[in-house]
Each structure stands twice: as C-alpha cells, then as structure tokens.
Amino acid sequence: MGDHASNSPPEPLEPRARPAGGTEYSWCKAVPTGTGITVLTLILSKPPDLSLLQNTFNKFQSSHPLLRSKLRFDPTSSTFSFITPPSPQTQIQPFDLPSTSRILQAHPNAHSIDPHHLILEHELNQNTWRDNDKPLDADADMFFASVYALSDARWVVALRFHTSVCDRASAVALLRELLEEMCGGGSGGTEGEFEGKTEVSLGIEDYIPSGKDRKAFWARGVDVLGYSLNSFRLSQLDFLDVESPRFSQVVRLQMSADETSKLVDGCKTRGIKLCSAIAAAGVLAAHASKHLTDSQKEKYAVVTLMDCRPILEPILSNNHIGFYHSAILNTHDVTGDEQLWELAIRCYTSFNNAKKYNKHFTDMSDLNFLMCKAIDNPGLTPSSSLRTAFISVFEEPVTDESSEKHREVGLEDYVGCSSVHGVGPSIAVFDTIRDGKLDCACVYPSPLHSREQMLGLIDSMKKVLVGAGNLVENGKNFTTT
C-alpha cells in the first residue's frame, strides 16, 4: 500500500491567486479604455531565432510569475485578481510577409510612414483586454509576443504587456535581458538572476515604508477636492475631434549627440533634471501653438512619473518586475514670454518639493481614485476627453549604449512606450539617451489630436530645447519669442 502511494504521480500544482493592489486596480480599469498597453518593438536586419526567442520568453515567465499571470475580473465584487498558473503560457505569434503586408496596408498612411513605426502603433492599439464578446469573468493574458516579417531583410519583434504588471523600468530590464540572450550572453535558458522566481510580487502599496503614506483624513479630502477643482482651470492642447473612437499614435523627438550634451549640461549647471526641461519645452510649445498674446496666462498640468524601487521597503532591484512607479502632479502658470530655463527650474522645484513631502506616497491613492472616477465619468474632464494633464514625463531617462553584439544580431532600432488614448495626458514622453543622443517616443491620443498637430508641437519643443542648449555656454536663457 505504501509502495503504491509512493509511486503515485505528484498532485498537479494549483494556480496561485492574489487581488490587485490599489495602483494595479487603477490600471486594470484604465487598460480597457485604451491607456496602459505597454509595447516594446525591436527592428532587426537579420532573421530572429524563433526557438531562442520562445525559450527566452518562457524564461521571463518562469522567473516572473506576474508575466505568466492571467487577469480575472469578479463582476459580483467588481474586483480584479492575478491568477498565476505554474508554467509559462505565452507562445510567439508569427506574421509572414503577406500577413504583415495586410496589417500595414490597413493603415491610412502606409506609404508615408516607416513600417516599423506602423507596427509599433498597431501593437499599441491591440487591446486584447477589451473584448466585448468575452465573458466578464474570463481570464486574460498579461503578456503577448509577435514577430513580423517586413521584407526579406527586416523583421520586427514586438512584446506587449498589461501595464499593471510591467512599468517602464520592468520593460527596460526585460529588453536588456532579451538583447543579452539574442547576443549569446544569457544564461542558456535558465531562470537567470531576476527576482520573484517563486512568489508572485506584491503591489507597490505593500512596499511603502511605514508611515510614509500617512495623511490625515481631512487632508486627504482637501487634496482630492483640490485636484478636482484644479482640473477645471487647466489648459489643454486644442482638441480636434472629441467624438470619434480613439487610438494611440507616436511621433519621435530626436536630437544629435552634440545637441543632447549641451542640453544635459544646461540641466546639470542649474541643478535640475532633464525631465523638467522636456516638460517645460512641451508647455511652452503648447502655449505658442495657440497664438495668444505674450501676457495671456494659461495653467498646464505636468505629471512626473518616478520609479519608487530604490525607496521602497525592502528596496527592490531594477529587475523586480511589476508596476512600482508613482506619479506627482504639478500645475504651472505660463505666459508667452516665459523663458525655458526659468520654467524648467520651476517645474523641477515643484516636483522636488513634492517628493520631500512624500506626495508620491501620500497622494497615490488620491490620484488613483480620481483616475478611476474620470474613467467612470468622462464628463468630469474637458470635452469628455479623459485628459487629466497636458504632458507626462519620467523623472529619469533610460540611458543605453549600442554594442558590437547588437550589430551582429542585426539590431537597427527599438522603441518602448505605452498607449494613452483612454484616460491620461495629451502627450506622454518616453525618453531615452541612446549613444549620447536624446530619443523620445511621444505618444498621444488620435484623432483627439492629429499627427500634423503633434509633429508641429514636437518640432517646436525641439527648437526650444536645442536653442536653450546652444545658449548654455554663454549663461543665457532661451525664450520662445
């Protein structure tokens, strides 16, 4: 009897489950509306090894249970949970030349925009978390992988994530591990050195240091009311079409190494961060686009996203996959004769002061609450646009350098960003300094804003930034006039 029992097959592992945290819940609400679809695309000049890629993605999911989790919605309690099976689930979806061609030809600007760019936008708008034919309680995957053949000499590898399980720092960590595997420097298909191999990572709220998020009840009420009332006084970039269905599009702001170096030096000289200069340039460009008088004042909202991993308890490494960013919202009054460095210093000072008062923790639940309220009640936002700010930026840029190994595998370019056509800003900036050159993927909701409108805005932003950098050596300020 005992021998029979010992020879019995082991009991199958049961899926694990945990409820979504507060910030994760807000993303679970946002993604079906169109905001929070995170995409990484890599353009290759050599055919990718599908077997190696599949093994790498299996490794990702084995190392990070959240990436192999499924999202479950309970309609009776209106709650979300992550259901985590014991083994990887994602399979690469390949698109051959005819399949890719059909996708590209469906785009209205197929002949004037680079195919890689079109695939990026196509992936940003593949909302598998919004399926009207799917039962409300059906489980949804959180990670998808595709390979597109653009020609006999170009391919795109695309990874798509639900943002609740993959913030920008997570995406960067996965990108670097993917490139390491592709270049032959990985760990040969083992689980690697990522954290979270056996346990499902917790939400950010569970890692906030004790007392850092404490706020008096009356203060919370005042702040929520203040954020709400302020939203009615905020200026927005002109809306072009508030009725048609929305989707995300991307334009890129790119600067040379010399231009980038001068801009970064200007920030260092003034003791501020690049994000504040980018935000200030965006605000000045938006104000200038309206052709107002120099003395006419407008109030713009800037959201700065910061990676909280280094200040959580315990400290989390950059490779700890999940969503661990927090947002700080500041508003700024701007006139047409504003100077770039003056406004950038104000932007950074406001952000830094908010950090000193722990507003990235104390206001987290307030901003999540207001985000969910906007989703449920679009009429609370200007023209029911779901715009909660003009621009969002990240506190720190991603810094990367190309290598000979990257060239050996045929890596030509890559872009990482997230969709914003649901609730969110008019322009979300995902900045990278690659080989010393600033490269920003700027995502916006269309047709609320048009590509022509955004290209004009980005061109104006670049002129402001380049002009400010060129005058750094003389200790001068650059204005938009």
For 175, the enclosing helix (H) or strand (E) is helix 168-182
Q: What is the pLDDT of residue 132?
A: 53
Tell me phi and psi for residue 413, to 5 degrees. -165, 160
Q: What is the pLDDT of residue 309?
A: 98
Cα 236 from Cα 249, distance rounded (Å): 18
What is the DSSP code string of 183-194? Answer: TT-S-TTS-TT-
Token pair in block for residue 344: 């950038």
Identity of the residue numbered 367: L
Q: What is the pLDDT of residue 24?
A: 97
Q: What is the pLDDT of residue 188?
A: 44
- β-strand partners of 389: 425
**Alpha-carbon distance values, 62 to 17, 29, 176, 351 (Å):** 16, 27, 17, 38
Cα 276 from Cα 267, distance rounded (Å): 9
Q: What is the pLDDT of residue 88?
A: 87
- Site of tokens 């960003």: 417
Token pair in block for residue 416: 């990482």
Asked whether the beta carbons of 206 and 447 are under 8 A apart, the reply is no
Cα 212 from Cα 220, distance rounded (Å): 14
Asked whether the beta carbons of 480 and 288 are under 8 A apart, the reply is yes
- Least Cα distance to 262 among 419, 474, 6, 421 occurs for 474
Quote the strand ranges of 139-229, DSSP E: 140-141, 143-149, 155-162
Task: Report, in this order, helix, strand and coil percent for the chain, each rounded to 5.
Answer: 40, 25, 35
**Alpha-carbon distance values, 298 to 192, 194, 286, 434 (Å):** 51, 46, 10, 34
* Domain 13-182, classified CATH 3.30.559.10, yes or no: yes
- 3-state DSSP call for residue 173? helix
Instruction: Note the pLDDT tens digit of each residue in 288-301.
Output: 999 888 889 999 99
Asked whether the beta carbons of 327 and 304 are under 8 A apart, the reply is yes
Burial of 317 by CB count in 10 Å (0-12 exposed, 13-18 middle, 19+ buried)? middle
Cα 115 from Cα 104, distance rounded (Å): 7
Q: What are the residues whose beta carbons fall under 8 Å from the beta carbon of 291, sequence distance 6 or more?
A: none
Asked whether the beta carbons of 371 and 220 are under 8 A apart, the reply is no
Identity of the residue numbered 463: K
Cα 447 from Cα 249, distance rounded (Å): 9
Q: Is the pTM of this model over 0.85?
A: yes
The Cα angle at residue 352 between residues 351 and 357, in degrees rounded to 5: 100
Token pair in block for residue 48: 């990718």
Asked whether the beta carbons of 304 and 351 are under 8 A apart, the reply is yes
Asked whether the beta carbons of 393 and 426 are under 8 A apart, the reply is no
Q: What is the pLDDT of residue 130?
A: 83
Q: Where are the alpha helices (DSSP H) in 7-114?
A: 22-30, 50-63, 97-105
Q: What is the mean pLDDT of the chain?
A: 89
Cα 232 from Cα 218, distance rounded (Å): 22
Cα 139 from Cα 135, distance rounded (Å): 9
151 alpha-carbon distance from chain centroid: 29
Torsion-angle region of 71 (φ positive above 0: left; ψ -120 to 50: alpha; else: beta):
beta
The Cα angle at residue 195 between residues 191 and 199, in degrees rounded to 5: 95
Q: What is the pLDDT of residue 104?
A: 94
From-to residues of CATH 3.30.559.30 in the chain: 209-470
> Which regions of the chain are under pLDDT 50?
1-2, 188-196, 477-481
Q: What are the residues whose beta carbons fall under 8 Å from the beta carbon of 87, sequence distance 6 or more?
A: 62, 68
Q: What is the pLDDT of residue 191?
A: 40
Tell me phi and psi for residue 445, to 5 degrees. -85, 125
- Site of tokens 């939400």: 203
CATH class for the region spanning 209-470: alpha beta
Longest distance between any two alpha carbons in the chain, whole Å = 91
